[in-house]
Amino acid sequence: MPKYLIEREIPGAGNLSAEQLKAISQTSCGVLGKMGPQIQWINSQITADKIYCTYIAPNEEMIREHAKLGGFPANSISRIATTIDPTTAEETV
């Protein structure tokens, strides 16, 4: 199933409190529960004014529906072609 990176422009995102982040997470999980197992939230990274989320979903439309139902912006949605990490540099036998 495809993975997507969602860029959410949220001014002051880096200043959100733990309670605010918990509430946002609970909203997201609640919407995901209603949408079914085809869409899954992997994780999110928060910067000063943006939140970058990684999701697994069958298509971009499902990502947009999640954002709409949750009241979240989805300013940019990109399908992830591949993921690399430090182990990519290791020689394979």
**Domains of the chain as residue ranges with CATH:** 3-81 (3.30.70.3090)
Beta strand 3-9 pairing with 50-56? antiparallel
> Would you place residue 91 in the very low, low, confident or very high pLDDT band (cuts 50, 70, 90)?
confident
- 31: Cα separation from own chain's centroid: 13
Q: Could you tell me the two tokens for 24?
A: 């946002």
Interval 10-57: pLDDT, tens: 999 999 999 999 999 999 999 999 999 999 999 999 999 999 999 999
> Would you place residue 93 in the very low, low, confident or very high pLDDT band (cuts 50, 70, 90)?
low
Average pLDDT over residues 59-85: 97
The pLDDT of residue 92: 73
